[in-house]
Amino acid sequence: IRLEAIGAVQSRSTVQVRSRVDGQLVAAEFREGQWVKKGDLLFRIDPRTFQAQLRQAQANLARDQAQHEKARSDLDRYAQLSQKGFSSQQKYEEAKATLAALQAIIRADQAAVEMAKLQLEFTEIRAPIDGRTGNMLITPGNLIKANDTPALVVINETRPIYVAFSVPESNVADLKARMVKGPLSVTVSLPERPDKRMTGDVTFINNAVDTATGTIQLKATFANDDEILTPGQFVRVAVNLDTLTDALVVPTGAIQDGQKGSYVFVVRSDMTVEPRNVTIGPAADNRTVVRSGVAAGETVVTDGQLRLFPGAPVQPQKSGVADGAPGKADAGKGQAGKRDSNSKGAAKHDPGKDSGKPEARQ
């Protein structure tokens, strides 16, 4: 039992790579369209300005650390003199405050050194995720600004990848009940390559129904190791809700709609047909489940039903054979098929019978 829809391929993660510092872009360390891993070097920015800022911050830290050592010695000396009565308590308190202030200045200097190191580190722009790069939007030699637009390059994560699609809200309960039992498989195919099918699992059901369309969005995840699926593509999606074992099926073309519901033309043993009402179930791959009305092994008409009537005689005919001319299909002839739709042989219409009666195939 399948739900079919049209889906759109989406990257699991898309990152627009931008600079976090100002400077001149001096080198690009990747090729456009290259697969990169998280942490790979992408761009280099001229680091000389940031190296100088780091040295300046380190020098300020060294200066204040020297002053801190002097202030500590002063505090120890004033503490001893104050205890012996050779210095006032005020001098001791001033030395103590000077030491505390220098300790705070040193912490600020250490933070300035860390910030300078961080700014220097930002001159090397690395990949934040695994993915495939797009066009290089800014080339080396240009001056760039922090968080400027456009981005330097866009990286799309394509292994694994998402396929987003929507299904009618009437199927939400069945979907959720099925997912409780285990992974819900999804099959997708490209319109231009219907023979190439990929299988994944539903990993997301939206938390609200779109009231404008009466549908709910789902996402399925695919390994996409060969990267056949590309972000932005449209694909055909089939959600495998359930499997009916030993189901009685007929070719979908055999099902007709009438005033009393669905019916099929069944070929009787004397090679005449009778219309029979049937109760149908789900359909897949040009097969429709019949819950009642026909039995396994009975022959049903699959084409040309408009020329049939109760009791009309038919004879088997191979597909593509008409009036003794192999390879040509007779569009005017009625045809019948078994539930497995395999051809069993060919036979001409009996001249002894009404020549206006349609022929048929098994």
Beta-bridged to residue 192, according to DSSP, are none
What does the pLDDT read at residue 352? 39
Q: What single-letter DSSP state applies at residue 344?
A: -
Question: β-strands 299-303, 273-277: how paired?
Answer: unpaired
What does the pLDDT read at residue 78? 72
Whether residue 3 contacts residue 241, with contact meaning beta carbons closer than 8 Å, is answered with yes
Spatial CA neighbour of 78 closest among 64, 61, 97, 91: 91
Distance set, CA 342 to CA 5, 305, 338, 345 (Å) = 30, 19, 7, 9
Q: What is the dihedral of CA 201, 206, 212, 214, to 10 degrees?
A: 60
Q: What single-letter DSSP state applies at residue 187?
A: E
Q: With b meaning 16 or more CB within 10 Å and e meaning fewer, what string describes 113-148?
A: beebeebbebbebbbebbbbbbebebeeeeebeeee
Q: Can you list the alpha helix ranges (DSSP code H) found in the chain?
A: 48-84, 89-121, 172-181
Which residues 6+ apart lie within 8 Å of 80 measured at CB? none
Question: β-strands 299-303, 335-338: how paired?
Answer: antiparallel
User: What distance in Å separates the CA atoms of residue 272 and residue 165, rounded to the nearest whole number?
Assistant: 47
What does the pLDDT read at residue 146? 92
SS3 222: strand
User: What distance in Å separates the CA atoms of residue 124 and residue 202, rounded to the nearest whole number?
Assistant: 38
Whether residue 320 contacts residue 303, with contact meaning beta carbons closer than 8 Å, is answered with no
User: Backbone dihedral region of 242: left (phi > 0), alpha (psi from -120 to 50 degrees) or beta?
Assistant: beta
Q: Residue 209, Cβ neighbours under 10 Å: how many?
A: 15
Digits of tens for pLDDT over the chain (362 positions)?
888 899 999 999 999 999 999 999 999 999 999 999 999 999 999 999 999 999 999 999 999 999 999 888 888 877 777 777 676 777 778 888 988 999 999 999 999 999 999 999 999 999 999 999 999 999 999 999 998 878 999 999 999 999 999 999 988 888 888 888 888 999 999 988 888 899 999 999 999 999 999 999 999 999 999 999 999 999 999 998 888 888 899 999 899 988 888 999 999 989 899 999 999 988 877 889 999 999 999 999 988 888 888 898 888 777 654 443 333 333 333 333 333 333 333 333 343 344 444 444 43
What does the pLDDT read at residue 106? 95
What does the pLDDT read at residue 243? 82
What does the pLDDT read at residue 87? 67
What does the pLDDT read at residue 319? 65
Per DSSP, the residues of 131-179 read EEE---SS-TT-EE-TT-SS-SEEEE--SSEEEEEEEEGGGHHHHHHHH
